[in-house]
Every structure is written in structure tokens, then in C-alpha cells.
């Protein structure tokens, strides 16, 4: 024991004496700034001044290769300063937008697209009312859009899957401008029907390309788990954009002099915003090479497969659920302006009121969708979608039972608080069950079911509103959303991760 203690003291040295080889070496290194020899030992770390110089100097290729080598060998990578160059394609998706992130570019284009829609939502039904159309005639007019969407939805989705997301999005924006021009000059049922039919072409072309481009790019960079939250954030941006457009629409109607001209001014503003969307799409959208390939034969093959999606087992319940959801949302959008018109003798005054009401509704919907983005981190999308559509059914029933304007508007806002979040969570369920080659086609199938049933429901709900009351039409819409709740619950139990269609072997 004593000999062991003597060896221990000799190795460490006594107090006040640098005895021991290890302690003498450390004293010498501190005094000179460098070790006597590095043979058999680790090289000394550089001093503080050298480390600071390295921190604020651009890294050379040697340091970059060393960092990449550490990561490849599974070792802990070095913390890089904020200016250290990263793999831009892996971090931000396609490179056309420079340092702007993929999600930011997607949300920018989405905001412009829905800002134009927000401008015309408050006046889209009041404009034909002010020019002499009845509620039943408006139902027939809006049905023209549903018929066109029913015919073109799947072909337009196949076109987006084969021709290119950006090209189809730009064409849809040009078609929207044409529809706005026709609506401004329309004076009778036939002209308004033509406007809504062209709007149906726009809705069919627009239903999938932008979202499919975002999902494809996220999956291409290995971030598929970010898709549900990205779509929920898209719902929030959509709500804010539509709220801003609705508020601006009400202001434009208020500033204009004559009632007939005032209700047409928001359409002109929507044309300007749509042209800005075209420019943004040209600048910010990139090709995703695996899906955006111009191929005429690919379009025909994708179209044939898309027809099979309608009756496919993986998409059947989703399409049926969207049909009943379209009926419920049709009641939500159609009956509120009519009920507000019941409380006011002036149609233009109802149009002014619809601007702030719609703005608040979409702002509340955006806030609700942002909250859904946080909920989706801890809850599955199927349960979230089921709960949200059930809450929307209750809110629609509240609109049917409301006897005063404040209660009516409050129930309307409650319905929109969950509207956008439901759409985001529902679409994420569809994306989990489809491959990249048929993504836009799958979105077109659900959109076709939604808009087609909504148009047919608009005819029936308009006739029910004229024959009985708008409250009866709202109650029917609440019943349709109750059926949607049950169907979404059934569809959500299906196994995710399976593709809807296995693409055929290429010759």
C-alpha cells in the first residue's frame, strides 16, 4: 500500500513542485503555447485567437470535406455557423427560388390564388341577385360549374401529372381571368351560366397542381412527415388571404357609387391579382423531375388509370365523403347571403356586410388551421378530420336555428373555424394513399366529388330554400355533414402508405 502511494505521489507531484512528467509537460505547453513533441499524443488545440479567426472566416474546401467525412462515418458533425453553405436542394427543394424555402414559395403562390377568390366570394351570389336572378335561377347557374368540373376534373388531374404542375396552374389562372370578364358583363341567366361554366374549367385545372407540386418536392427531399403540417399551414395562409380579399371586396363595394357597378368592381381587382399569380408561378415554381415530364402518351395512360380511381377500393370512401361534404358546404356558402338579405331590404347593403363577415370568417378559419397544424404533431390525421367535420355539422345546424343576425353570423364563423383545418387533414389522408405519379389525379377525384355534388346540391338546396326557407336548406346541409363524419371515420381506418394504383410497366 505504501509503495503504491509513493508511486501515486511521484506521478502527480507534490504541492508547489511541477514534479511528474505529465505536469511538467503541461506547464511547459502553457508557457510556450505549443507542446515539445506530438509523437504518440493528440495534437494540441489551437489557442483562442486562432479559434476565433476560424469561426469568423469562410470555411475552405478542406474543412467542408472533413465535416462531410465525420457525418459519413457516423460521428457527431461539427456545429456550423449560420453562413456555412448547405445543400440547397436538400434544404429548400427546387432551386429556382434561390434561398427562399420551398414552403415559403408554395404559400406565396397559394396566397395570391386565394386572395383573388376572396375578392369575389362576397359578391359572387349578390351580383346575379342584383341583376334580377332568383335564388332558384342562381342554383341553376352554379350548377353549370359543377357539370363542367364533373367532366373535366379527372382529365385535368391527368394533365397535371403528365404535362407539368406549373404549366397547368398558369393555364388555370388565364381561364379564371376569362371567367371574371364574362361575369362582369353578364346580364341574364345564360350569360351567368357561361361565366360559372368557365369558372368550372378553372376549378378543374386548379384543383391539384400547386398542392401536388409541394407534396412531390417535400417527398423528394425526404420530408414526407412535414406534408400534413405544411398543408395545415397552407390552410392558415388561405384563410388570411381570403379574409384580406373579402375585406377589400367590401371596401370596394362601399366606395363605388352605383349598386350594379359596385358589385362588379371586386372582379376587376381579382383579375389583377390573378395576373400577379401567373408571374409568381413563373418565378417560384420548379420542375420535380420524377413527375413533371411533358409526355403525351403519359397523359393518356394517366387518364385511363384515373378513371379507375373513381371506383378503386382505396379512394371510394374518400370520394363519397367528399360528395356529402360538398352538399354541406354548398348550403353554408349559399344560404348565408340569402338569410342576410332577409334582414336587409337593400341587396347592396348586404354586400357591404358580407365583406367584413367573410373576412372574419376566413381569418378565424386560418387561425383554426394553424392550430390544427400543431394538433397534427400529436394526433393522427384521421381522428382530427373526423372531429372537425362533426363540429362543422353542429355549426351549420346552429345557423339553421339562429333567429337573429348575431347568432347567424356567429354560427357561420364557427363553421369556418374548422373548415380549412378539415380540408388539410383530409387531403393528408389522401396523400398517404397515393404515389407521386397519380397525386394530382387523386386530388382531382376528390375535388370532382366535392364540386359535382355541391353543384347538384345547390340546385336542390336552392329549390328547398325557395319552397320552404333558407333554414331548411341549412338543416339539410347539416345532415349531409353528419353523413360525412361517419364516412371519414370509415375511410380513416384504411391502411395508409398503400398506393392507389401501381403504374404499368413501361415498354
**Residues 337-360: tens digit of each pLDDT:** 788 777 766 656 666 677 678 778
Residue 411 dihedral angles phi and psi, to the nearest 5°:
-65, -35
Say what the pLDDT of residue 22 is: 55
- Grade residue 192 by pLDDT with cuts at 50, 70 and 90: very high
Highest average pLDDT, of 207-211, 213-217, 485-489, comes from: 485-489
Alpha-carbon distance 397 to 437, whole Å?
40
The one-character DSSP state at 97 is T
Q: Per-residue pLDDT tens for 389-408?
A: 999 999 999 998 887 888 88
**Please, is 102 exposed, middle or buried when counting C-beta atoms within 10 Å of its C-beta (0-12, 13-18, 19+)?**
buried
**Please, is 413 exposed, middle or buried when counting C-beta atoms within 10 Å of its C-beta (0-12, 13-18, 19+)?**
middle
Question: What fold characterizes domain 95-492?
Answer: Growth Hormone; Chain: A; (1.20.1250)
Which of 144-158, 412-426, 466-480 is predicted with the least confidence, judged by mean pLDDT? 144-158
Q: Which of 479, 455, 480, 469 is nearest to 339 (CA)?
A: 469
Looking up cell 342584383, which residue turns up? 130
Q: Which of 164, 177, 198 is nearest to 116 (CA)?
A: 177
Average pLDDT, the chain: 75
DSSP letters along 250-308, please? HHHHHHSSSHHHHTTHHHHHHHHHHHHHHHHHHHH----TTT----HHHHHHHHHHHHH
Using alpha carbons only, give the angle 417, 418, 419 rounded to the nearest 5 degrees: 100
Q: Which three cell numbers stand for residue 476?
A: 339539410
Q: Does position 227 have pLDDT exceeding 60, yes or no?
A: yes
| Residue 434 near residue 400, CB atoms below 8 Å | no
Arithmetic mean of pLDDT, 228-237: 85
Q: Does position 13 have pLDDT exceeding 90, yes or no?
A: no
* Residue 166, CB-side half-sphere exposure with 13 Å CA sphere: 20
| Residue 194 near residue 128, CB atoms below 8 Å | no
Q: Per-residue pLDDT tens for 48-103?
A: 444 444 444 444 444 544 444 444 444 444 444 443 334 433 344 444 444 468 88
- Report the largest interatomic distance among the alpha carbons of the chain, rounded to a whole angstrom: 112
| Residue 352 near residue 404, CB atoms below 8 Å | no
Q: Which three cell numbers stand for residue 20?
A: 511528474
Highest average pLDDT, of 12-21, 113-122, 171-180, 250-259, comes from: 171-180
Q: Does position 289 have pLDDT exceeding 60, yes or no?
A: no
Say what the pLDDT of residue 135 is: 77
Say what the pLDDT of residue 222 is: 74
Alpha-carbon distance 15 to 378, whole Å?
59
Arithmetic mean of pLDDT, 165-184: 93
| Residue 322 near residue 449, CB atoms below 8 Å | yes
Q: Per-residue pLDDT tens for 442-498?
A: 777 787 788 778 878 888 888 888 888 888 999 999 999 999 999 988 887 765 544
Which of 44-53, 232-241, 256-265, 316-325 is predicted with the least confidence, judged by mean pLDDT? 44-53
Tell me if the pTM is above 0.95.
no
Using alpha carbons only, give the angle 74, 77, 80 rounded to the nearest 5 degrees: 160
Amino acid at each position: 500500500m505504501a509503495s503504491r502511494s509513493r508511486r501515486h505521489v511521484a506521478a502527480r507531484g507534490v504541492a508547489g513542485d511541477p514534479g511528474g512528467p505529465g505536469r511538467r509537460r503541461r506547464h511547459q505547453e502553457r508557457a510556450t503555447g505549443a507542446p515539445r513533441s506530438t509523437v504518440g499524443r493528440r495534437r494540441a488545440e489551437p489557442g483562442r485567437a486562432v479559434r476565433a479567426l476560424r469561426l469568423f472566416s469562410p470555411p475552405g474546401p478542406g474543412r467542408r470535406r472533413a465535416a462531410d467525412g465525420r457525418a459519413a462515418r457516423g460521428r457527431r458533425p461539427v456545429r456550423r455557423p449560420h453562413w456555412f453553405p448547405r445543400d440547397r436542394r436538400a434544404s429548400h427543394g427546387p432551386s429556382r427560388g434561390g434561398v427562399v424555402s420551398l414552403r415559403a414559395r408554395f404559400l406565396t403562390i397559394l396566397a395570391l390564388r386565394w386572395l383573388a377568390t376572396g375578392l369575389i366570394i362576397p359578391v359572387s351570389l349578390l351580383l346575379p341577385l342584383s341583376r334580377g336572378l332568383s335564388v332558384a335561377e342562381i342554383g341553376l347557374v352554379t350548377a353549370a360549374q359543377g357539370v363542367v368540373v364533373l367532366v373535366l376534373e379527372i382529365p385535368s388531374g391527368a394533365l397535371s401529372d403528365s404535362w407539368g404542375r406549373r404549366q397547368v396552374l398558369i393555364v388555370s389562372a388565364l381561364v379564371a381571368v376569362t371567367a371574371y370578364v364574362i361575369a362582369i358583363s353578364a346580364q341574364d341567366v345564360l350569360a351567368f351560366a357561361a361565366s360559372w361554366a368557365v369558372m368550372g374549367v378553372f376549378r378543374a385545372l386548379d384543383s391539384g397542381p400547386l398542392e401536388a407540386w409541394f407534396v412531390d418536392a417535400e417527398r423528394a427531399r425526404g420530408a414526407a412527415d412535414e406534408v400534413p403540417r405544411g398543408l395545415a399551414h397552407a390552410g392558415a395562409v388561405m384563410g388570411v388571404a381570403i379574409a384580406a380579399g373579402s375585406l377589400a371586396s367590401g371596401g370596394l363595394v362601399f366606395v363605388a357609387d352605383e349598386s350594379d357597378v359596385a358589385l362588379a368592381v371586386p372582379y376587376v381587382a381579382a383579375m389583377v391579382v390573378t395576373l400577379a399569380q401567373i408571374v409568381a408561378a413563373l418565378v417560384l415554381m420548379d420542375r420535380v423531375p420524377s413527375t413533371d415530364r411533358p409526355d403525351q402518351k403519359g397523359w393518356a395512360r394517366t387518364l385511363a388509370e384515373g378513371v379507375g380511381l373513381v371506383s378503386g377500393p382505396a379512394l371510394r370512401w374518400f370520394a363519397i365523403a367528399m360528395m356529402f361534404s360538398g352538399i354541406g358546404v354548398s348550403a353554408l356558402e349559399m344560404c348565408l347571403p340569402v338569410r342576410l338579405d332577409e334582414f336587409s331590404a337593400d341587396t347592396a347593403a348586404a354586400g357591404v356586410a358580407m365583406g367584413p363577415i367573410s373576412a372574419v370568417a376566413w381569418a378565424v378559419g386560418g387561425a383554426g388551421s394553424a392550430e390544427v397544424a400543431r394538433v397534427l404533431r400529436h394526433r393522427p390525421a384521421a381522428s382530427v378530420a373526423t372531429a372537425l367535420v362533426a363540429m362543422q355539422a353542429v355549426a351549420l345546424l346552429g345557423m339553421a336555428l339562429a333567429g337573429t343576425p348575431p347568432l347567424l353570423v356567429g354560427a357561420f364563423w364557427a363553421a369556418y373555424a374548422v373548415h380549412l383545418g378539415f380540408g388539410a387533414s383530409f387531403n393528408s389522408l389522401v396523400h398517404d394513399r397515393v404515389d407521386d405519379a397519380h397525386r394530382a389525379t387523386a386530388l382531382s377525384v376528390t375535388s370532382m366529388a366535392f364540386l359535382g355534388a355541391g353543384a347538384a346540391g345547390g340546385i336542390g338546396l336552392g329549390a328547398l330554400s325557395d319552397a320552404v326557407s333558407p333554414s331548411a336548406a341549412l338543416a339539410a346541409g347539416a345532415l349531409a355533414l353528419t353523413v360525412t363524419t361517419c364516412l371519414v371515420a370509415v375511410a380513416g381506418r384504411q391502411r395508409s402508405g398503400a398506393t392507389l394504383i401501381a403504374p404499368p410497366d413501361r415498354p
